[in-house]
Chain A
Amino acid sequence: MKINPDKCVACGNCTYVCPMGAIYIDPVIRRATINRNECVECYACFNGLSQEHLNPTFVRTVRKLFQMARMRFDPEPDVCPTAAFEPENLEWPRVVRRAFSDPRVPHESTGVHGRGTEEVKTNDVSGRVGTGEAGFTIEFGRPGVGVWFRDIQKMCWALARAGVAFEKKNPVTSLMSDAATGTIRQDILDEKVLSAIVEIKVPVERVEEVIRLVREMEKQIDTVVALGVGARCDEKGEDNVVAPILEKLGYNLERAKTNIGLGRVSNAA
């Protein structure tokens, strides 16, 4: 993403809406500027801000007059008054940032808009997580911190050493040069994304072991991790297998997504 300095009026609205806090007003040029190292190409600025197409010279003059009179101009906070944001043509490997950070860009590996796969939300037709299994979503960088692929790789290496297999139809797995060892392509390790999800499935007997491993590795990576665990319910709609393990590990289960089982396979064979 670029900010056109001829259009920017340094209103500062965009500095608040950037999820990475990567936009600031450069005091030298007096224009909004993007820290390209921290920018994850999520397009929240371009897609989320409403755009006016006001004359930049006019807006700067008005702002200057208000400033001189020590008056506060109070415009809407979600607007770029001069439509100064200009998307740029991203090339490899930087394009990976956008693929993982802009939710409107589908991943070629999954076809799903977002960072993961269908996981348990289509479990009623996919049968991905069966009885006696637990599906993990290990999400890095969320919320609002971001993650470098080199940090994701540390976790993947540890999971692979433990003999855990990665979900094949997952964007992170598709970027591994060796899924057996959890090694991610060398050329993207220094790319930062808003978040990325590693997906694995293990027998319920290994839930505790995996969680303890993840917790241990979290100490070695410089970001936040959001853990999700999916389980198949019994015929009465109860889960008396995975939830007790999680509670035993000290988790206070507050929120979940519940697949209510209305899906049916209907495509022609």
Chain B
Amino acid sequence: MTNTLHRFGSAESFRDDYVVFAIASKGRNDEGALEKLRRFLRIAVDFQPVNLGDAMHGGALRPSKEMNPGAHWKRDVAPDFDAVVAGLDAPTTVAAVFDNRVAAEDFVQAVKEAELGLSVNISTSIEGAEQCCFAAGIPRHSVGYSLGFEGATAKLPEAKVLMLSTMCGHGMVSHGLAKKMIDWVKEGRRTPQQAAGYMTRFCSCGVFNPARAARLLEQAARGESE
């Protein structure tokens, strides 16, 4: 899932960002994969993820096609994990996002014991993934390194914006929205958690990390760098 690979930031900034995802390979282990993918998500819920999602329906916080105007004053920002599990209706990539290493380690251990037979990947700092594997007693099979952004990088926004917007690798969280949310938190118009919630809804596969986003927004509003 390249859309979790190129998150902008130092290894240290991924201390609260662990994406664990499962995928079936077409023609190799996709028969009967749907129930296994559901089980992967159900197991994840026990370890208190900060987001959960699938590549076709989105994450645990979704936009509404029929929003009640009253929501402007009382917006529900609680993730709905049950809806993600229940909504999975075809084999696709499913992901669970954790904001701490212990939860990610315990989840990986539980997934190993479940013997689902699906390909499972951890997307985080290289060291963080190594620690998860070590804790579960699993040698890494393969690694996909991010070499970062090159070329016409003058077209990119400043680092604090990039750290937010690249948490949706599909590009559905725009630089413009990330910048606006930093400004709104700075002005006190929204809390970091509320602003993170707005961005989370744009991520179409549920890998956006609202906990890391809230931390980054708070730091950016204070003028602190990572």
Contacts and interface: CB of A to CB of B under 8 A. Distances in A.
Interface of A: 15-19, 21, 42, 44, 47-54, 74-79, 83, 101, 103-104, 111-116, 118-126, 129, 135, 137, 139, 142-145, 194-195, 197, 211, 214-215, 218-219, 221-233, 235-239, 242-243, 246, 251, 253-268
Contacts of B25: 118, 122, 125-126, 263
B126 interface: yes
B133 interface: yes
B36 to A, nearest CB: 9
B146 A228 contact: yes
Interface in B96-111: 108, 111
A214 B121 CA distance: 27
B205 interface: yes
B171 interface: yes
Given A194-B170, A225-B151, A254-B146, 6 more contacts: A113-B55, A118-B119, A224-B153, A228-B147, A233-B139, A258-B126
Given A228-B146, A246-B147, A16 B177 contact: yes
| In the A-B complex, the 9 residue pairs with the closest CB atoms | A237-B139, A261-B141, A263-B119, A48-B202, A218-B151, A258-B129, A237-B140, A122-B25, A264-B117
Contact of A48 (B115, B147, B175, B201): B201
B172 interface: yes
Nearest to B174: A19
B138 A137 contact: no
Interface string B1-23: 11111111111001000000101
B218 interface: no
B223 interface: no
B51 interface: no
A237 B133 contact: yes
B118 interface: yes
Given A17-B202, A224-B156, A263-B119, A115 B55 contact: no
Contact of B31 (A16, A116, A256, A268): A268
Given A139-B2, A265-B28, A54 B69 contact: yes
Contacts of B21: 121
Contacts of A112: 26
B209 interface: no
B29 A227 contact: no
19 contacts: A16-B179, A19-B175, A76-B198, A78-B63, A104-B55, A119-B2, A120-B143, A143-B162, A144-B174, A227-B150, A230-B144, A231-B145, A233-B140, A255-B7, A258-B140, A259-B143, A260-B121, A260-B140, A261-B141
Interface in B139-167: 139-153, 155-157, 162, 165-166
Contact of A255 (B26, B121, B124, B202): B124
